[in-house]
């Protein structure tokens, strides 16, 4: 299952992929697509396969794939002169919280839901509660 193709990924790069990078790009696109599929229900994931993913999902898959391509050794920080870059999570292929939210919005998964609860007096009330992870 892949939600973005190598061609879609390559068009977002400043130049073409080297021939020896195409296989790695395809494997990473597949890995990221699997992570994205875990965020949505099976029916949605199946509907997004084979080039049917929304543009926002394609963008997320390509962005996470690019992150994995440019940092294959998974360095957590780089300092050069007065410039420092630091990442909080660099273990394997991963999605940022914003990327996860984008995927969930594309799948029409709400960011919050109402929870029914009964008070001590027996009344049912709707208690808005934030869904963790959105």
Q: Could you give the percent of the chain with pLDDT greater than 70? A: 75
Q: When comparing pLDDT for 49 and 75, which is higher?
A: 49
Using one digit for the tens of pLDDT, what is the confidence trace for 7-33? 999 999 999 999 999 999 999 999 999
3-state SS, residue 75: coil
1 domain residue, yes or no: no
Asked whether residue 47 is domain-assigned, the answer is: yes
| Residue showing tokens 């998974």 | 74
Residues 100, 19: Cα–Cα separation, whole Å? 31
**39 belongs to a structural domain:** yes
Residue 112 counted as domain residue? yes
* Cβ within 8 Å of residue 24, ≥6 positions away: 69
Half-sphere exposure for 26 (CA within 13 Å, toward CB): 7
39-53 CB burial, b ≥16 within 10 A, e <16: bbeeebbeebeeeeb
- Residue 118 belongs to what domain range? 6-130
Q: What is the count of structural domains for the chain? A: 1
- Domain membership flag for residue 13: yes
Residue 52 lies in a domain: yes
Please determine, for residue 98, whether its predicted confidence score (pLDDT) is greater than 80: yes
pLDDT tens for 19-73 read 999 999 999 999 999 999 999 999 999 999 988 999 999 999 999 999 888 876 6
Specify the higher pLDDT residue, 83 or 7: 7
């Amino acid at each position: 299952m892949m939600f973005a193709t190598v061609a879609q990924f390559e068009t977002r790069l400043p130049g073409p992929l080297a021939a020896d990078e195409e296989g790695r790009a395809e494997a990473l696109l597949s890995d990221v697509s699997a992570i994205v599929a875990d965020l949505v229900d099976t029916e949605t994931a199946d509907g997004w396969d084979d080039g049917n993913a929304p543009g926002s999902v394609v963008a997320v898959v390509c962005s996470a794939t690019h992150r994995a391509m440019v940092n294959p050794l998974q360095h957590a920080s780089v300092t050069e002169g007065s410039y420092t870059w630091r990442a909080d999570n660099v273990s394997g292929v991963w999605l940022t919280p914003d990327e996860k939210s984008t995927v969930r919005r594309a799948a029409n998964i709400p960011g919050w839901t109402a929870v029914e609860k009964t008070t001590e007096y027996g009344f049912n009330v709707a208690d808005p509660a934030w869904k963790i992870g959105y």
